[in-house]
Amino acid sequence: MSTCIICGASTDGRVCDLHEEDVVFEFEGTKPDQLSPNRYYRGTVDGFAEFGIFIDIGDHVTGLLHKSELDKRIDSIDLEPGDTVYVKVKSVRDNGNIDLGWSIRQKKSRFRGALIDDPSADEERLPEEATDDEEDAGAIRQTASTSSTQAETAETTDEPEPAPEPEPPAETTPREPLSTTVSELDDQVGELVRLEGELTSAHQTSGPTVFELRDETGTVECAAFEEAGVRAYPEIGEGDIVRLEGEVERRRGELQVETEALVVLEDDQAEAVTERMATALRNRARPDEVEPIAADDVVEGLTTELRDAATAIRRAVIEGRPIVVRHGATADGYASSAALERATLPLIRDQHQDPDAEYHYFERRPVEGSVYDMNDATRDVTMMLSAKDRHNEQVPLFVFVAVGGSAESVDGYDLLDVYGARRVLIDDQPVAADVTAAVDVAVAPATAGETTTTVLATTVAAHVNEAVRDELLHLPAVSFWDDVPAIYEQLATDAGYDQSAVRALREAVALEAHYQSYQDKRELIIDLLFADESDVGLAEHISEQFQKRVETATETAEAHLEEHETDAGKVLVLDTASYTHRFEFPPTELLLDELYRRHSEDVAAIVGVDEDEAYIRGDESIDVTAIVETARNAAPKAALDSRGARSGRIEFLAGERIQAQSALLSALGVELSG
């Protein structure tokens, strides 16, 4: 126990609760949470804003004296940076912000006692002897209200006080910044640090300028204050290699560096930082060799491409670059993109402090059909540029799965390339040389029909984040509509998904993929594909709807199939414009797939003919592009186009429907009378 320096009463500290407001404290701490609310502290003016005055209370501890605490307009107060003031700490918020109140006692002599608050020593002690002139040099000029002035005057002598002598500048030893990296900042809150790296964005708020700095280990926001709404360091911007010094703080749960110095590095210094970052980035992004999820010859033949795709995704995460996955609106497309999502989101959460980062830095966007056309690319570029202008986002990495593997997608890729967007393609069919040249990484087999996109994407995902590998093992089996390879069926079984559960997942995802096909349905897909193996009720419920609707549609279609004989076997033709429910489930492509599965043993092909498009289903021997070339010569006015040929889709003019159908059937070997 000690005695109060004011009244002598016994107390735990050096002043009792009754007289705490009669004492002024000199703060020697370095963190806001070391301050004690409701105490008065000596401070110095740091700067001005339209909403108040920033007051330094201790070494790198600054609070805000809001204008509502003053009885004059800020621009009429006779204060200069460095002037001494006395303020009350009203509160210290969880994010480190300090709310200050004004004291009418603007001289140390107005307080009945003085103590030094030293949190590092966990003590409050009496200051060494010092004259009032030394303590009050540079004190605030009179700012209290007239009533406050009169009250103070009544307590003291009627004789005017002599003007204080100017205070000589304090001789202090500045702290030496600690050279560090972004990844180490979490353990350095309250420390003065030095960072070197690249500024990836600069955003002006109504208060400070917020820079985002990236080094070889991560990214962090850095706030610099000139004055409210005024750009700090206007000569420094995005892309500059810089050295930044400041104090590490945590605001609203996120790390931030309060910038005190920022300079652009040039020549050898900049080159050294750039090379260090590039080397570290390559080393961090390149995954170790990961054992394939199964002994699959197709996968083993694409080892380099699979690692390259994983490296591109991991590098985007490290760079703080958004990732946009463009995928087919099919069961295969959703399952493959969900595998990448499952692997990438934990890395994004680890990389960024923002709890919503996984929504800002990873997005799935389904594509209707199999072609990534100019309509899709224009939409992506428009969204990309808007995000850059509004939120200073970097150009995204685009990953294409189960879509974009045909030459018709090259124009869309070229538009992305104009803006420097990197492109990764993962597809289960061979891609042409011009497609490979249009993307940065292409993962595709040499032969069609040997794998699914989900098999390849799941392997990429295991390279992106091996920690989620076991969560993905059932997905390849989900992507095979029939004849699931034994190796992937066994993986699903080992993961707790028997054949019935796998089928339910496949059918449920296929049904949901049809509805609102332009949306990612992230949470719903997660609930379907990654539910606990003992809880498959949702998938089973949706699967039952799938089976009822497919069965009804196929029964209707079976009654209207036309049968034609060819040398290669039967060709079945369905007038899909007349005998299917357009815009309802199942879509034409899925219905024809189901019909072909039911008749594949005794038919060569099934053709569905709509108002201005046709679909051909058959085995790998059917070359849709060649069929269209032959049919085009027989029906030149129909404008037959093999756009979408990789998915068996053909376009023609609606007014030439009869001629187009006849030409296509003839090209398939059907002999038509008349």
Closest CA to 302 of 450, 484, 407: 450
DSSP state of 320: T
Find the helix or strand (DSSP H, E) in which 89 lies.
Answer: strand 84-92
457: pLDDT strictly greater than 80: yes
Give pLDDT, residue 250: 84
Using DSSP bridges, classify how beta strands 423-426 and 441-443 pair: parallel, antiparallel or unpaired.
parallel
CATH of domain 178-281: 2.40.50.140
342-387 pLDDT tens trace: 999 999 998 886 778 888 899 999 998 889 999 999 999 999 999 8
335 Cβ neighbours under 8 A, 6+ residues apart: 454, 457, 475, 478, 479, 509, 529
CATH of domain 286-542: 3.90.1640.30
- CA 139 to CA 434: how far, in whole Å? 75
Name the band, by pLDDT with cuts 50, 70 and 90, for residue 162. low
441: pLDDT strictly greater than 70: yes
Give pLDDT, residue 151: 37
- The answer to whether 140 and 106 have CB atoms below 8 angstroms apart is yes
82-113 pLDDT tens trace: 889 999 999 998 878 899 998 888 888 778 78
24-76 pLDDT tens trace: 999 998 889 899 998 999 999 988 887 889 999 987 889 998 888 887 777 77
Joined tokens for residue 476: 């390849």
169: pLDDT strictly greater than 80: no
- The answer to whether 310 and 458 have CB atoms below 8 angstroms apart is no
Which among 73-87, 534-548, 604-618 has the top mean pLDDT?
A: 604-618
Mean pLDDT of 322-326: 97
Closest CA to 222 of 240, 252, 199, 206: 199
462: pLDDT strictly greater than 90: yes
Q: What is the largest CA-CA distance in the chain?
A: 124
Q: What is the mean pLDDT of the chain?
A: 87
End-to-end CA distance of the chain: 114
- CA 46 to CA 80: how far, in whole Å? 8
Q: Of 3.10.310, 3.10.50, 2.40.128, 3.20.170, which CATH number belongs to 560-667?
A: 3.10.310
614: pLDDT strictly greater than 60: yes
Name the band, by pLDDT with cuts 50, 70 and 90, for residue 585. very high
286-321 pLDDT tens trace: 998 878 899 999 999 999 999 999 999 999 998 889
> Into which CATH architecture does domain 2-155 fall?
Beta Barrel (2.40)
SS3 99: strand
Give pLDDT, residue 517: 85
644: pLDDT strictly greater than 80: no
143: pLDDT strictly greater than 50: no
Name the band, by pLDDT with cuts 50, 70 and 90, for residue 5. confident
Asked if the domains 2-155 and 178-281 are classified in one and the same CATH topology, the answer is yes
635: pLDDT strictly greater than 90: yes
Which residue did the predictor score with more confidence, 159 or 600? 600
Q: Which residue has the tokens 């019909």?
A: 595
Q: Where are the domains of the chain?
A: 2-155, 178-281, 286-542, 560-667
Residue % of the chain over a pLDDT of 90: 60
DSSP state of 379: H
Which residue did the predictor score with more confidence, 203 or 268? 268
| Burial track 354-378 (b if 16+ CB lie within 10 A, e otherwise) | beebbeebbbbbbbebbbbbeebbe
Give pLDDT, residue 152: 42
Name the band, by pLDDT with cuts 50, 70 and 90, for residue 167. low
192-239 pLDDT tens trace: 999 999 998 888 877 788 999 999 888 899 999 887 778 999 999 988
Give pLDDT, residue 534: 52
Mean pLDDT of 445-458: 93
- CA 590 to CA 509: how far, in whole Å? 13
570: pLDDT strictly greater than 80: yes
Give pLDDT, residue 536: 63
510: pLDDT strictly greater than 80: yes
- CA 329 to CA 38: how far, in whole Å? 61
Mean pLDDT of 440-461: 94
Give pLDDT, residue 109: 76
Residue % of the chain over a pLDDT of 70: 91
Mean pLDDT of 601-609: 95
163: pLDDT strictly greater than 80: no
Name the band, by pLDDT with cuts 50, 70 and 90, for residue 430. very high
Task: Identify the weakest region by mean pLDDT among 489-493, 504-508, 531-535, 648-652.
Answer: 531-535
